[in-house]
Amino acid sequence: MTPAGFRKTAERLLHDGYIISLFEAEFEGPAGERITRDVVRHPGAVAVVAIDGDEVVLVRQFRAALEAEMLELPAGKLDVPGEPLEVAARRELVEEAGLDAPHLEVLATFHNSGGFCDEVTTVFLATELVEATAEAFSVEEQYLTVERVRLDDVGGMIVAGTITDAKTVIGLLTALRRLGR
């Protein structure tokens, strides 16, 4: 049997939250098996690998789920209906890092955690940066700090566990490869 033999038979909303919605979904397997899974629906996100010379621009911000600060790419959820991905990425870059990029290139698109969540993140590369006025909207954004990291240090920071955020690891490694580093 193939994975195409699975079909959803029911879905019930358990929680409709600020960012995500949680559902209990029922499926039928290829041989008629019945399974129930928790499914998180997420609007999706964008992230930007902003390269300035030999440095990448990152942000350090509080993440409530981890109760810790994370060193990450400027990024954010797709919370403006109908907004094109590139526009959302530029908006997040301005909001968080105080930079704009007239041209963005898609580096990668990935599912963050397909075992329970439908979130898809698209990571962009920005190499032509222009100063802009940062506009913090969330409490976390009001207290984030912008940090510049040498591209030569990125690999070691990932291996050492200094950078553990998935979109940041994927984005940085993909960007380094694209840049031939």
Total count of domains within the chain: 2
Can you give the residue range of the structural domain that contains 34?
3-41
Residue 1 has pLDDT above 50, yes or no: no
pLDDT digits (tens, 9 = 90+) for 12-51: 999 999 999 999 999 999 999 999 999 999 999 999 999 9
Q: Does 9 lie in the same domain as 76?
A: no
Q: pLDDT band at residue 134, thresholds of 50, 70 and 90?
A: confident
Is residue 116 a contact partner of residue 108, using CB atoms and an 8 Å limit?
Answer: no
Look at the block and give the residue holding tokens 């997420």.
42
Query: Is the Cα dihedral 177, 145, 141, 112 positive or negative?
Result: positive
Q: What is the secondary structure of 53-74 as a DSSP string?
A: TTEEEEEEEEETTTTEEEEE-S
Q: Does 162 lie in the same domain as 101?
A: yes
Q: Does 14 lie in the same domain as 103?
A: no
pTM for the whole thing?
0.92
Active site (annotated) includes residue 140: yes
Percent helix, strand and coil across the chain, each rounded to 5? 25, 40, 35
Give the 3-state secondary structure of residue 23.
strand
Mean pLDDT of 133-144: 83
Q: Does 134 lie in the same domain as 70?
A: yes
Q: Does 94 lie in the same domain as 58?
A: yes
Q: Does 69 lie in the same domain as 36?
A: no
Q: Does 128 lie in the same domain as 90?
A: yes
Q: What is the secondary structure of 134-172 as a DSSP string?
A: ----SHHHHH-EEEEEEHHHHHHHHHHTS---HHHHHHH
Point out the catalytic residue in the list 69, 105, 140, 147. Answer: 140
Least confident segment among 126-130, 133-137, 149-153, 173-177 = 133-137
Q: Does 63 lie in the same domain as 148?
A: yes
Q: Does 80 lie in the same domain as 34?
A: no
Q: Does 83 lie in the same domain as 60?
A: yes
Average pLDDT over all residues of the chain? 94
CATH number of the domain to which 88 belongs: 3.90.79.10
Q: Does 117 lie in the same domain as 50?
A: yes
Q: Does 79 lie in the same domain as 26?
A: no
